[in-house]
Chains A and B, each alone.
Chain A
Amino acid sequence: QVQLQESGPGLVKPSQTLSLTCTVSRGSISSGDYYWSWIRQPPGKGLEWIGYIYYSGGTYYKSSLKSRVTISIDTSKNQFSLKVSSVTAADTAVYYCARDRAVGATYAFDIWGQGTMVTVSS
Chain B
Amino acid sequence: DIQMTQSPSSVSASVGDRVTITCRASQGISSWLAWYQQKPGKAPKLLIYAASSLQSGVPSRFSGSGSGTDFTLTISRLQPEDFAIYYCQQANSFPRTFGQGTKVEIK
- A: residues with CB less than 8 A from B are 37, 46-49, 51-52, 60-63, 96, 98, 100-101, 105-110, 112-115
Contact flag A106-B49 (CB < 8 Å), given A47-B87, A49-B97, A100-B96: yes
Contact flag A115-B91 (CB < 8 Å), given A47-B98, A106-B53, A107-B49: no
- B: residues with CB less than 8 A from A are 1, 31-32, 34, 36, 42-46, 49-50, 53, 55, 87, 89, 91, 94-101
Q: Is the CB of A109 within 8 A of B100?
A: no
Contact flag A108-B34 (CB < 8 Å), given A47-B87, A96-B43, A115-B43: yes
A interface secondary structure, majority = strand
Closest Cβ of chain A to B57, distance in Å, is 10
Closest Cβ of chain A to B10, distance in Å, is 13
The CA of A98 and the CA of B96, in the complex, are separated in Å by 12
The CA of A115 and the CA of B40, in the complex, are separated in Å by 12
